Amino acid sequence: MPRSKPNNPEAPPNDSQLNEAMTETPFWKTKTLAEMSNEEWESLCDGCGLCCLNKLEDWDTGEIAFTSVACKLLDGDSCRCSDYENRQATVPDCIQLTLQGLREIQWLPPTCGYRLIDEGLDLYWWHPLVSGSSETVHQAGISARGRTISEEGLDVEDLEDYVVDWPMRVGEERD
């Protein structure tokens, strides 16, 4: 069964983005996704790491199931890509998330910053752009921190043993 992985930007929002978010009407409330700069687009990633988990697709139904098996380049603690710039060399099927791709992908978690904004919703308090901290996504229990194992050395045939539903449920009781 095929698997797919969109990108997980390597760096949390910078200080200017965080300051802007806290002092002015933030860009994600005034701009569409298509109007955002590359820097703004990248900063919408909350660093949850959920999209870097291996997924299985049912060939008959097209249904996607998450597993707790993470891409070999995902840092299971920070939930960031450990080699984002060069990731294609080791993970050629890592997808660069684009606006078009975002609308074609059906399995992005409901907490994903891109999905929230595209659906006309606001970012949650724990999003780094709102909280000013890259830790709150973990503190709120939204991220994959501490819940995964690496795909390194794992037989792809064994992925079915690691199917989980929490990536699509995390944050269900969020404020």
Of the pair 145, 158, the CB lying nearest ligand SF4 is at 145
**Number of neighbouring beta carbons within 10 Å of residue 133:** 15
How does DSSP classify residue 124?
Answer: P
Q: Is 66 in the site for ligand SF4 (CB under 6 A)?
A: no
CB atoms within 10 A of CB 31: 14
| Options 13, 49, 128, 171; binder of ligand SF4; rule CB under 6 A | 49
Q: Does 51 bind ligand SF4 (CB under 6 A)?
A: yes
By CB under 6 A, which span of 5-13, 29-37, 61-69, 154-162 interacts with ligand SF4? 5-13
CA-to-CA dists, residue 60 to 38, 55, 103, 157, 159, angstroms: 37, 15, 22, 18, 18
Using rule CB under 6 A, residue 114 touches ligand SF4 = yes
Longest CA span, the chain: 50
CB nearer to ligand SF4: give 82 or 163.
Answer: 82
Query: Residue 55 pairs with which residues in a beta bridge?
Result: 66
- Rule CB under 6 A: say whether 144 interacts with ligand SF4: no
DSSP state of 64: E
95 forms beta bridges with 6
Q: What is the dihedral of CA 122, 125, 130, 133, to 10 degrees?
A: -150
- Considering the rule CB under 6 A, would residue 170 count as an interface residue with ligand SF4? no
Tell me how far, at minimum, the Cβ of 174 lies from ligand SF4, in Å. Answer: 14
Residue 97 in contact with ligand SF4, rule: CB under 6 A: yes
The site for ligand SF4 (CB under 6 A) is made up of 5-8, 45-52, 71, 73-74, 81, 84, 87, 91, 94, 97, 108-109, 112-114
